[in-house]
Amino acid sequence: MDRRVVLVTGGSRGIGRAVCLLMGRRGCAVAVNFASDETRAGGVVDELAGAGSPAVALRADVSKADEAAALVDGVVERLGRLDVVVNSAGIERSGFLIMTSPREWEDVMDVNLRGVFNVTKAALPHMMDARAGAVVNVASLAGVTGLAGGVPYSASKGGVIAFTRALAKEVAPFGIRVNAVAPGMVETDMTAAMKEADRKRYEEMIPMGRFAEAAEVAEVVAFLASPAASYVTGETVVVGGGLP
């Protein structure tokens, strides 16, 4: 990839961090968005800078429209333009629906779905003016198959998949592509705290017998964001090790 400018939400950890590092290695300038952990985000920027990649860390709560708009403005101000948005910020709240409070439901929807809306809406005018751009949304296999004990998360990620499909049709005439990845179980902070018995049970369900590395998901994101995927839009690529 050439020196395009990429904004990665939730870029300080997990899949987002892996995407930042890979995009930097591919020659992009990278805006690392974070909500609270400035130290981690700064570490990603330092790693990118050490490899010769222009990078900035920008704080924003993507669930808030004004902060998302300021984030996009900050990317354009600091890095000159905006070519690619990777919506990777996300949270999960486990528990059966009957025990889920309205606040817990709203928290998940605000970050996972509203955040995608806020950032993408703010970025689109820049891409439409350029008549080019790519949006890659990090959804989840849970949004495809559903996950017992994770109804809010599944619903939010299913919403991201539908958002992706619909928006792709709206913005294709402007040369903008919108795609999603739907990872299964991935080695991240979210899965690191799993009980060993639960982990083993999931591994036995996965045909490849292991969780994905975040870098493996990042490779798919990078492909969808690249000119190599110039005729791909509205798609959701499952990265599930053989699932579902």
List the domain boundaries for the chain: 5-238
* pTM assigned to the model: 0.96
- pLDDT 10s digit of each residue in the chain, 244 long? 458 999 999 999 999 999 999 999 999 999 999 999 999 999 999 999 999 999 999 999 999 999 999 999 999 999 999 999 999 999 999 899 999 999 999 999 999 999 999 999 999 999 999 999 999 999 999 999 999 999 999 999 999 999 999 999 999 999 999 999 999 999 988 788 888 998 999 999 999 999 999 999 999 999 999 999 999 999 999 999 999 8
- C-alpha 121/C-alpha 173 separation (Å) is 16
- C-alpha 50/C-alpha 62 separation (Å) is 28
**What is the token pair recorded at 214?**
């975040």
Give residue 214's Cα distance to chain centre: 11
Q: What positions carry a catalytic annotation?
A: 153
Taking CA atoms, 147 is separated from 98, 153, 154, 185, in Å, by 14, 8, 6, 12
Using an 8 Å Cβ cutoff, are 105 and 156 in contact? Answer: no
68: CB partners within 8 A, 6+ apart: 60, 62, 115, 118, 119, 121, 122
**What is the token pair recorded at 239?**
């990265």
The CATH class of 5-238 is: alpha beta
Q: Which helix (H) or strand (E) holds 238?
A: strand 236-239
pLDDT tens-place string over residues 143-169: 999 999 999 999 999 999 999 999 999
